A and B are shown apart, each in its own frame.
Chain A
Amino acid sequence: MNRRRALEAGLLALPAAAALAQGPAVPRRSLRFGTTPVFLDDQLGFLARWAAYLSNSVGVPIDFVSRRSYRDIMVLLRSQELDLAWICGFPWVVNRAELRGLSIPLYLGQPLYQSYLIVPAADTGTTSLPDLRGKVFAYSDPDSNSGWLVPRSALLSSGIDPDRHFARSFYTWGHRNVVQAVASGLAQGGAVDGYVWDTLQRVAPALVARTRVAWRSQSYAFPPLAVRASLDEATEQALRRALVGMTDDGVGQRLLGELNLSAFGSFDERAFDGIAKLAALAGVRGA
């Protein structure tokens, strides 16, 4: 928690200092890139390297900005305090009027991922969400597709009221935290981004080993990157080129390797139809 606050303070202070140095002549001295736990955004060393790479490609300094929840990032995007963000398909579907799609990352060569239902490794019986009736359940974030929308809509489609199904549910504000909550036994089940869980197997195998994937959802569009609708086209294009072009050089490939991604692909609006349907099923406004 302290670490997160320190990160926030540092990320806020850096552009402020840069602004003072560059003076008022240049209005947009850097691009502010919001991150959410759709990927392992708490690896600061990686973020610094990626920021340096993108800054070099785009020609404008890139600053990463992290917040506690997806919603915080969306608020900042809408208020133009962020220029781009890596968000989840669910917030994209809800807020697409105010955003422009930038890229859909390719995971295992596909712009797709799954939501996993994970349980403690000791629990070998649970195979579906209905099995967790009366248990404590960990959601990732109320604005997460894989960590909230998918399990809720799955229950709803089975005719189960998700608000009554679990004895108690809570948000962990991150996929890694869901894994920790389930691994520690705080929750008897949790909904997690399949890509994050897979990647954690490489980064934190001991933690992941204490959990078991009890159920995998169908595939949905991978969490996309988007820019605020008001961002100029040239910058948008430069960003897209930089992201998509990461496969073209060694540094970019290494960074993609660290992200456990194949590439950053082009953006396709229709890829999110599946998530939009879920949102409609769950009765979310704006979907």
Chain B
Amino acid sequence: MQLIERLRPGGWSYRVKVPLLMAAISAATALAVSVAIAVSARHWLREDLKDHAAAVAESLSRGLVVHMARDDVWEAFEAVRAVAVGDEGAPRCEVVVLDRQQRVFVSSQPMRLPIRAPADALDAPLQRAAALAVRPGDISVGEARTDEGTFSIVAAPLLSADKEVVGTLLMSWSHAVFAGRYRETLATLAAIAGTLVVVLLPLGWWLGHRVARPVARVTEALYRMGEDAAARATAYSGAARPAAQPHAVNEMDRLEHALSELQRQLDEKDMLQRQFVAADRLAAIGRMTAGVAHEINNPLAGMLAALSNLRKDPSLSTSTLALIERGLGQIRQTLSALLIETRSAHRELSPVDLDDLRILVAPQAERKSVQLAWHCAIDQELPLPAAPVRQVVLNLLLNALQAASRHVAFDAALDGERLQLSVVNDGREFPADRQARPFEPVGGEGNGLGLWASHQLVMSMGGAIVLAVENGRTRFDVELPLHPLPPTAAATARHEATA
């Protein structure tokens, strides 16, 4: 099946198709010109023969009238033979002179057509010539196709000075006479056409190859550009011709230039996206800082109070030390969650990462008196990059906390080979005008860039993020495939998701 597909010319590469086409056109042109010349040569040979035959008949008939009037068989025969027989005795044509009784007065081949033979003894071409003589006083020229071949035939009435018919001159010229000449012409033509084909075929192939090469190069580059970012970085820059000029007249040069420009813009966009995502990460951290600072400040205040009490009453040491220990433990927990957040180490997602996030956003929920319902059914490391997942979840949680009035719910669960995450809040609904395209970056409210960055990250992991608004609840569902797909498939998935 695949073989058939490959053999179908429509599926061929331009690298082959264009040179083949050029070569075929060259050969076809040479052939067509040769055929045209051959056909017209044949035509003109025929026309020449007709004209010649008519001219000979006219001059011959003048003398024949005199010879017939004098009943001079020999002179008539000599005149006829002079026309009909070539230098080496080879017959040029057949000539018959009929008398008034339609009997042979003389013929160029007396062995076959003797004197006084009846007209119906004539062979086929001459019979046809006899049938031609319908217009009196005029030389009739025609063509006869018989079993022996094609003949130009002539009939001329022999008229005396006072227009009395004394006989009829019939001639037939076999086209075999010029067949030899025609064969020579054909041979010459074939030689010329063959030479042309030999010269034009490689030339056509080479030209076609030259034309198709840039197309193939651009196609290859475009194909690679779609594969993934890493390949894209070198997709066209390597293949681009340094001579590609923005104002070049050649379409291929301009296309190549536009392509390299597109490549450059895509690279820029990529870099910008990466910068945005990084900036968003820092922004998310900034948004937590107030809560985190509070989380550190509270135990610190407790611990300072405990220390002051201890100074006043050293007997309280046991309980005070326990309090200070708890406070330091809380600070350490908070700080370690924060440290992991800023660290960009590549590692797999673990349940601790999600717990960290809970710790990080908890102070904010507390401050806003929002109930944070946390359901995490993950108890093992998952083959997912930890950093982007954390960033996505943190973004969604912070947004939810900001928008929530009473409740925020977080769910994490495994669904076969996919990690399902959802963040729900009951606050004011997601703006209606943005619901259709919720992940487009917007200025102002602060969650604009966050959602866009989350979307980018989810896409880069081959996952999907969906917004659902229902009954006053805003819900984001994130679905991430566990086993990272191969880069090509990932790219395809990404394209489909963006489309």
Contacts and interface: CB of A to CB of B under 8 A. Distances in A.
Q: Does B bind A? A: yes
Nearest to A122: B111
Interface stretch (B44-52, B76-84, B248-256, B388-396): B76-84
Interface in A169-200: 170-173, 177, 181, 184-188
Given A184-B110, A186-B106, A186-B115, A1 B74 contact: no
A170 B106 CA distance: 12
Given A170-B72, A170-B73, A184-B110, A1 B78 contact: yes
Question: Among B72, B77, B109, B111, which residue has the most Cβ atoms of chain A within 10 A?
Answer: B77
Given A1-B79, A168-B73, A172-B74, A184 B114 contact: no
Interface of B: 71-75, 77-79, 81-82, 106, 109-111, 114-116
Contact of A184 (B72, B81, B82, B116): B81
B79 A173 contact: no
A143 B3 CA distance: 96
Nearest to B81: A184
A185 B111 CA distance: 5
Contact of A186 (B72, B77, B79, B82): B77
A123 B217 CA distance: 88
Contacts of A187: 110, 115
A138 interface: yes
B110 A185 contact: yes
A173 B114 contact: no
Question: Among B73, B74, B75, B109, which residue has the most Cβ atoms of chain A within 10 A?
Answer: B74
B179 to A, nearest CB: 26
A48 interface: no
B77 A181 contact: yes
A168 B115 contact: yes
A22 B29 CA distance: 75
Contacts of A204: none
B114 A185 contact: yes
Contact of B74 (A167, A171, A185, A188): A171
A172 to B, nearest CB: 4
Contacts of B82: 1
Nearest to A182: B110
Given A136-B116, A170-B71, 17 more contacts: A1-B75, A1-B79, A136-B115, A168-B73, A168-B115, A168-B116, A170-B73, A170-B74, A171-B72, A171-B74, A184-B110, A185-B114, A186-B74, A186-B77, A186-B106, A186-B110, A187-B110
A187 B114 CA distance: 8
Nearest to A172: B74
Contacts of B114: 136, 185-186, 188
18 contacts: A1-B82, A167-B115, A168-B73, A170-B71, A170-B73, A170-B74, A171-B72, A172-B74, A177-B74, A181-B74, A181-B77, A184-B111, A185-B109, A185-B110, A185-B114, A186-B74, A186-B114, A188-B114
Contacts of A184: 77, 81, 110-111
A138 B106 CA distance: 13
Given A1-B79, A1-B82, A138 B74 contact: yes
Interface of A: 1, 136, 138, 167-168, 170-173, 177, 181, 184-188
Given A1-B78, A138-B74, A167 B116 contact: yes
Given A136-B115, A136-B116, A168-B115, A186 B73 contact: yes
Nearest to A173: B74
A211 B111 CA distance: 13
A185 B115 CA distance: 9
A185 B109 CA distance: 8
Contacts of B73: 168, 170, 186
A170 B115 CA distance: 11
A254 B77 CA distance: 35
B339 to A, nearest CB: 127
Nearest to B77: A186
Question: Among A136, A171, A185, which residue has the most Cβ atoms of chain B within 10 A?
Answer: A185
Nearest to A136: B115
A138 B77 CA distance: 12
A167 B77 CA distance: 17
B30 to A, nearest CB: 48
A172 B115 CA distance: 15
Nearest to B80: A186
The 7 A-B pairs of least Cβ separation, nearest first, read A185-B111, A170-B73, A186-B110, A185-B110, A172-B74, A136-B115, A186-B77
Nearest to A177: B74
Contacts of A173: 74
Question: Among A138, A167, A168, which residue has the most Cβ atoms of chain B within 10 A?
Answer: A168
Contacts of B79: 1
Nearest to A4: B78
A247 B74 CA distance: 38
A94 B71 CA distance: 26
Contacts of A136: 114-116
Nearest to B78: A1
B118 to A, nearest CB: 13
Contacts of B106: 186
